[in-house]
Structure 1
Amino acid sequence: MSFKTISVVGLGYIGLPTAAVLASRKQKVVGVDVNQHAISTINKGEIHIIEPDLDIAVRSAVSQGYLRATDKPEPADAFMIAVPTPFIERQDGGHTADLSFIEAAVKTIAPVLSKGNLVVLESTSPVGATEKMAGWLAEARPDLTFPQTHGEQSDIRVAHCPERVLPGHVMRELIENDRVIGGMTPACSMRACELYKIFVQGECIATTARTAEMAKLTENSFRDVNIAFANELSTICHELDINVWELIKLANLHPRVNILQPGAGVGGHCIAVDPWFIVDACPEQARLIRTAREVNDGKPGWVLEQIKVKLEQFHQANPNATRSDVTVACMGIAFKPDIDDLRESPALGIAQKAAELGCQLQVVEPNIEALPQELKYANTQLVSLEEALAQADIFCVLVKHKPFLTIKEKLQSKNAVIDAVGLLE
């Protein structure tokens, strides 16, 4: 059974590329979002986010009539939900997944569901979220049957298929990467596999919904633990006066050692968030995963302390200067190189804390056109790379953007540089 119309709910960093790739396969795709700016931008054949090759795909899909955006769901054969799943920090220090965006999306599409539809949760979620989604759907549509009560004979098929793409390479990886597809029943898995095989060249691997949910959390927790090892090494090497970049390079000469590169912390909507879902589910068992999260969450604070040290050194060399006489340049505030995504960015948090120190703060971020709300301080401005090089007293390299690689020699000539990402190595 083919899919005549596919609805993608949530047109952000995952939803819009997915909608565009599906539309490029001559599928009729209706994108749904609450952001009116995003809707109008997409319907003009333009994009509201930065992702290589996405603009070409959206322009083509819209112009050919295969992709259209709206704020009201319409009947479709399949619904793919790609909305945020942030976490809520509890008073006891724990972190619980916020599923309110999924619940809102479910309540939005429920009125237009019909027998034979497929609903896929793409949003990275804690174990059991797909079952909760199915429960919400059942509450909203008691006239339809769902897998949790009617198994293989259910009117609606429900599955979970977490995205596993790298920002900056989304369009390619959506097509090439294998996909783990977890249905609430084997029939649900089979139907979801049919949907993804429209555009996925990699293997579509069927499993249960809970296993698919845990697979994505496991992938990102594994990476988080390995990054934490590198970040912890960097702070240890600082205390012991050892070049951590040289150390890692030498250690990685061992045929079975592959240490990652340290940074200013861990950001983004996945690695900085997903491990907490495992910790929240099994707090007594997830000791290593919790520790890794704490190490990575603590790295921005360590970087900020290095900025304070440089400020103190500046004042010792210039005793008549006040904090407002010092200009600090934060080089990069995105959560990773060469993208505009600031979600859970440790660099953004460091810049915000640096602005609160009373110095003049210059933000160098070549991928944005205006400062985010978090940095709307009187002493903070978005400047070009050239302006920062000419005016700043202290440089803090937080993201290894490609444009920064072109000024390595100029940075090396500066007296006060904090290199959190190994740009100068």
Structure 2
Amino acid sequence: MQTPQASHSPVPAEGIRTVSVIGLGYIGLPTAAMFAASGKQVVGVDISQHAVDSINAGKPHIEEGDLDALVERCVATGHLRAVAAPVQADAFIIAVPTPVGPAPQNEPDISFVEAAARSIAPVLKQGDLVIIESTSPVGTTGHISRLLAAERPDLCFPHAPAETTDVHLAYCPERIIPGKMLKELVENDRIIGGMTPECSRIATGLYSAFVRGQCIESDDRTAEMVKLTENAFRDVNIAFANELSMICGDAGINVWDVIALANRHPRVSILNPGPGVGGHCIAVDPWFIVASAPERARLIRTAREVNDAKPGYVLAEARRLLDADPAAKAVCLGLTYKPDVDDFRESPSLEIAKALSSEYPGRILCSDPYAHALPAGFADRAGLVFVPHVDALTQASLVVMLVGHTAFRVHARPADKHVIDTTGFWI
């Protein structure tokens, strides 16, 4: 294993003139834009023709701070373009989804990463660099090296000892947050997990084109575990807050008062509870650790189960109030997985709204300033009725606050309605 260390003399990235980013979603597109802004020629690849066409028109298909202006500028200067199939480049960055399978197994699914690797195999050449950014189980980078070797037996890959390596591989996970992606891509430290020290140095040289945080060199398996550990740590801490909120709720105690007072202890810092845990990282990544060590990862598994159970607790409270007044209507405020983003992936709030709309047809209203980001026809198929939040608050007698979007700040806590405030928005 390489000893983790900050790189002081990375291999210069001047030799890497073209970068191809496979997957132009919430991670891939901002990454592609940052490389393009640094002067690289960037070719983004995505299977969605809508994404390709939008980007080539200088218009991102996702919402993210100043990404609109950055993409427009990079496309206009000719440094960024999108295509539907890979072409030759000097470096390839794989940034595709890595979901988990259905419960209770929750097995990691790296089929998208495998497909991305197979798609670039025909265009690889000697001297290329392949980087995996997708959150992956430990051992995925080595697996992809062997997969590529099977696809391209004419090239040498770093999993097999040899005098020379034709194609270098590294695992370099992102650690950014929606709403601040561009800032954090530049400022956050980066873990560079090369399969060999040379792989690490070359990858560090590439990221140094725009990263101002430290690029800390390690090996691929350590870097894979670091990414999973970061999100599992956060999941465990959120689970404590969510479990505490349910215990306090059952006891008739205000959990927000408990947390605020407990946090006055100099060594206590309890997070805020919510309706569950969503997004493609914290709600997914801990299962990768559980799958690799099911007998050891007892705390991590329990935390996932606690957070997955929280939406059911919110639903039970909403059902109790709706059943007590058969004429009552409820409004679900906020359906994305976190405030002020247009991302609905793994959102517990969306699942709560869908369940209530199915169980109480005609009685549930939904409001979210980012509802336009849902796929066309989704609301109709899910039975969701979207209305402006001002109208919804007027019509409903039960308010279920699920996501504290800034747009909702114009409203004080409704004094004449039942309120289920899952986030402490109105404390």
Q: TM-score, normalised by structure 2?
A: 0.94
- Alignment correspondent of 2:347: 345
Residues 128 and 167, structure 2, Cα contact 8 Å, conserved in 1: yes
TM-score, normalising length from structure 1?
Answer: 0.95
Mapped to 1, the partners of 2:236 and 2:38 lie a distance apart of 38
Partner of 1:138: 149
> Partner residue of 2:166?
155
Deviation, 1:330, is: 0.7
* Correspondence for 2:400 among 379, 387, 396: 396
Matches within 5 A, 1:250-269: 250-269=261-280
Is the Cα–Cα contact under 8 Å of residues 243 and 306 in structure 2 kept in the other structure?
yes
Find the counterpart in structure 1 of residue 11 from structure 2. Answer: none
Distance in 2 of aligned mates of 1:379 and 1:71:
33
* CA distance 1:151–1:202, shift in 2 (3 Å): farther
Report the counterpart of residue 335 of structure 2 in structure 1. Answer: 333
Opposite residue 114 of structure 2, the aligned amino acid is E
> 2:212 maps to what in 1?
201
Q: Tell me the equivalent position of 2:138.
A: 127
Secondary structure in 2 matching 1:150: coil
Aligned pair partner of 2:177 in 159, 166, 172: 166
Aligned pairs (5 A) from 1:347-362:
347-359=349-361, 360-362=363-365
CA shift, 1:353, in A, is 0.6
Aligned partner of 1:270: which letter? C
Q: Give the drift of 1:313.
A: 2.4
> Per the alignment, do residues 164 and 273 of structure 1 end up closer, same or farther by CA in structure 2, a change over 3 Å counting?
same
User: Alpha-carbon deviations, 1:70-96, whole Å to 9, x = none?
Assistant: 001111100000000000126xx2211
Structure 2 counterpart of 1:97, one-letter code = P
Shift of 1:333: 0.5
Q: Secondary structure at the match of 1:207?
A: strand
- Tell me which residue corresponds to 1:31: 44
Match of 1:18 in 2: 31
1:111 aligns with 2:114: no
Partner secondary structure for residue 93 of structure 2: strand
Question: Please, which moves more after superposition, 286-295 or 411-420?
Answer: 411-420
How many angstroms apart in 2 are the aligned matches of 1:299 and 1:288?
A: 17
Unaligned segments of structure 1, at least 5 residues? 316-320
What is the Cα deviation at residue 371 of structure 1? 5.1
In structure 2, the residue matched to 1:296 is: 307
Q: What are the Cα deviations for residues 141-171 of structure 1, in whole angstroms up to 9, with x where unaligned? A: 0110100113562100000001000111000
Counterpart CA distance in 2 for 1:3 and 1:417 is 56
Report deviation, 1:2: 2.2
Q: 2:384 & 2:299 partners in 1: Cα distance?
A: 38
Q: Amino acid of the residue matched to residue 144 of structure 1?
A: L
| Cα-to-partner distance string for 1:94-146 (whole Å, 9 max, x where unaligned) | 21111110111111110000000000000000101111111111111011010
1:240 maps to amino acid: A
Identify the structure with bigger relative contact order (alpha carbons < 8 Å, sequence gap 6+). 2
- 2:170 aligned partner, one-letter code: A
Provide structure 2 residue ranges, at least 5 long, that are not aligned to the other structure. 1-13
Contact 2:354–2:384 at 8 Å: present in 1 too?
Answer: no
Q: Which residue of 1 aligns with 2:239?
A: 228
1:51 maps onto 2:64 in alignment: yes
One-letter identity of the residue aligned with 1:67: L
Alignment check: 8 A CA contact 2:330 2:365 kept: yes
**Identity within the alignment, %:** 53
Q: Distance in 2 between matches of 1:177 and 1:405?
A: 30
**What is the DSSP-based 3-state SS (H/G/I as helix, E as strand, rest coil) of the residue aligned with 1:159?**
strand
The alpha-carbon distance between structure 1 residues 387 and 179, as it changes in their structure 2 partners (threshold 3 A), is: same
SS at match of 1:227: helix
Output the aligned Cα RMSD: 1.3
How far off is 1:379 after superposition? Answer: 5.1
Aligned residues: 412
1:5 to 13, 18, 23: 18
Preserved contact between residue 354 and residue 382 of structure 2 (Cα < 8 Å): no
- Match of 1:89, SS state, is coil
Note closer, same or farther for the CA distance 1:387–1:152 as it changes in structure 2 (3 Å cut): farther
Q: Distance in 2 between matches of 1:67 and 1:16?
A: 10
- Paired with 2:163 and 2:179, the residues of 1 have a C-alpha distance of 39
Matched, 1:386 2:397: no
